[in-house]
Amino acid sequence: MPDISIEYKYSGTDVSGLHKWKDAADEARKKLIHKTGEGSEYLGWVDIPVDYDRDEFDRIKKAAKKIREESDAFVLIGVGGSYLGARAAVEFLAFPGRIKDAPDIYFAGNALSTDSIARTLQAIGDRDFSVNVVSKSGTTMEPAIAFRIFKAELEKRYGKEGAADRIYVTTDAKKGALKTMAVENGYEAFTVPDNIGGRYSVLSSVGMLPIAVSGADIDAIMEGAERMRQVCVENPFETNPALQYAAFRHEMMEEKKQVEVFCIYNSSVGSFSGWWRQLYGESEGKGGKGLFPACVTYSTDLHSIGQFIQDGKRNMFETMLYAENSNIEMHLEVDEKDLDGLNYLAGRPLSQVNRIAVKGTAQAHADGGTPNILISYPKKSEHTLGQLFYFFEFSCGVSCYMLGVNPFDQPGVEFYKNNIFKLLERPGY
Ligand code: PA5
């Protein structure tokens, strides 16, 4: 059984109510496993937890060790699927007291704002730093611009050769501008597998190098993913959370819901929401179809957008993701005067208060006409994170095939990229 579980109490349905989607979900699963659906040339991620390149992983671990020894700061340059998964993992796993001696990790090349590049350079100051530039195509504008700037800064500080020793490239095995630069300048290069697209690439070198630099145990992430793979691939609908989540989303679409609100209860999971949003938005939103993926952090956003979710336009449902147990426990002490009236909470773990907030919010929103499904995991760890990554990827593939869209292309993104190039008068556009 997986460590991830689904609760339907506040959803208006349950597993038996979702049974009508069973055949469609099973059919979609077969397409993923047997590579018979649209975009099947990008299904390398399905088996990656069992067949990943062990030699590449050893190189990743060595490079991460070197970076940790030589650098106080590390800049991950990439956009979309080339950085969101790594960022999700780094922040998910970075709870106080856990990982020591890791460089500070910065994210660049994911926007065109010069402010953020300048802020990152300022934050690094005169500390030693290394760079990992990630781009499957090797030509995406945002990371290419940032890389040129950070490369120049490295060369200014360490000379051309010294800079080359601090630049790590993750890109296509054979082609693209980045690959050419890596070969010409002697940068250590890692491969984005041909058969894995950006938003499904976190379990490849794309995610694994920066995650290893953060000090996390990448073997444990892969073990978690492997465990979830087995569940997704083998379990029948009744005990398969990935098929059930896809079915639930289709049930919601049938009820004319248009927006899926992904709710988390811990700000360190915020970047995981960003990864989820890209995965579902870019995979599913095609041909006038799909659910609009929105993200909120509770309880913070209950004080901002909560009113709308409780009582505004009834076109949404919520997917709540929370941990059964906290990695860090705190208690309030009894206060003699109790002026704030909080003594009734004294001695109770604050994480319990947070978990009660999950149920309290779910009940209130369900009563207001926003159904919700609760997805929980035992505690933040590499193992649960590996499970979560795989679970959402697999379920997304199933959901897209049920909807009749190709989960692995992004014509809309290409459209915008080409338009910008045209306006900037890039040669050839
Ligand atoms: O999921 C995707 O394919 C996209 O989000 C890409 O990851 C993103 O556009 C960046 O592309 P590249 O890695 O080629 O720079």
**What is the three-state SS of 323-350?**
ECCCCCCCECCCCCCCCCCCHHHCCCEH
What pTM did the predictor assign? 0.96
Rounded to the nearest whole angstrom, what is the distance from the C-alpha of residue 322 to the centroid of ligand 1?
Answer: 28
- Over residues 264-281, the pLDDT tens digits come to 999 999 999 999 999 999
- Average pLDDT value for residue range 325-351: 93
Helix (H) or strand (E) holding 295: strand 292-297
Instruction: Report how far apart, in Å, the C-alpha atoms of 265 and of each of 7, 119, 188, 262 are.
Output: 16, 28, 39, 10
- Choose, from 282, 284, 382, 393, the residue flagged as catalytic: 282
Residue with tokens 């049930």: 251
234 given a catalytic annotation? no
Instruction: Report how far apart, in Å, the C-alpha atoms of 113 and of each of 109, 147, 174 are.
Output: 9, 14, 31
- Choose, from 100, 174, 303, 313, the residue flagged as catalytic: 303
Whether 403 and 283 have beta carbons less than 8 Å apart is answered as no
- Over residues 348-407, the pLDDT tens digits come to 999 898 999 999 999 999 999 999 999 999 999 999 999 999 999 999 999 999 999 999
| Residue nearest atom 8 of ligand 1, based on CA coordinates | 80
Helices 241-254, 382-403: inter-axial angle, 10-degree rounding: 40
Rounded to the nearest whole angstrom, what is the distance from the C-alpha of residue 150 to the centroid of ligand 1?
Answer: 20
Q: Candidates 41, 140, 277, 408: which one to mutate for ligand 1, based on the most atoms within 8 Å of Cβ?
A: 140
The pLDDT score that the predictor gives to residue 421 is: 85
Residue 216's SS3 state is coil
Any bridge partners for residue 292, and if so which?
259
Rounded to the nearest whole angstrom, what is the distance from the C-alpha of residue 373 to the centroid of ligand 1?
Answer: 30
The pLDDT score that the predictor gives to residue 1 is: 59
- Over residues 14-31, the pLDDT tens digits come to 999 999 999 999 999 999
User: CA 398 to CA 249: how far, in whole Å?
Assistant: 11
Beta carbons within 10 angstroms of residue 49's beta carbon: 21
Residue 299 banded pLDDT, cuts 50, 70, 90: very high
Burial letters 120-129, b for 16+ CB under 10 A, else e: bbeebeeebb
Rounded to the nearest whole angstrom, what is the distance from the C-alpha of residue 410 to the centroid of ligand 1?
Answer: 9
